[in-house]
Amino acid sequence: MDGEPRRIPLMPKLLELTKSDRTKNNKPKQLWIDQSRKPLRTFIASNDPAPWRPSGLHRENAGGSSTCSLPRDQSLTSLKSVVNILITARKSLGEAGQYLKEAKDKATILGGYAMKGMKTKKQVTWNTRFWLLMIDIRTLALTIEHDLSTLRALTDAAGKPVGWAVAGDMQSKEVTAGGIRCVWVWPKEVEDPLLVPGKLLYVHGGAFCLGSPETHKQLAQQLSRRSKAA
| pLDDT, tens only, 15-42 | 444 444 444 454 444 444 444 444 444 4
Quote the number of domains for the chain: 3
Residue 34, domain member (yes or no): yes
Q: What is the pTM of this model?
A: 0.33
> What is the radius of gyration, based on Cα positions, of the chain?
35
Longest CA–CA separation in the chain, Å: 108
Residue 12, domain member (yes or no): no
Q: Which of 25, 33, 32, 36 is nearest to 1 (CA)?
A: 32
Inter-CA distances, 168 with 121, 152, 182, 227, Å:
36, 29, 21, 17
Q: Are residues 165 and 123 in the same domain?
A: no
Q: Which domain holds residue 52?
A: 19-69
Residue 61, domain member (yes or no): yes
Domain stop point among 69, 103, 131: 69
Q: Which of 202, 197, 198 is nearest to 221 (CA)?
A: 202
Q: Which of 159, 168, 200, 213 is nearest to 187 (CA)?
A: 168
Identify the pLDDT of residue 77: 67
In the chain, alpha helices (H):
72-118, 128-143, 148-163, 217-227
With cut-offs at 50, 70 and 90, classify the pLDDT of residue 226: confident
Beta-carbon-side half-sphere exposure of residue 78 (alpha carbons within 13 Å)? 7
Identify the pLDDT of residue 214: 63
Tell me the C-alpha distance between 168 and 15, whole Å: 77
Identify the pLDDT of residue 222: 79
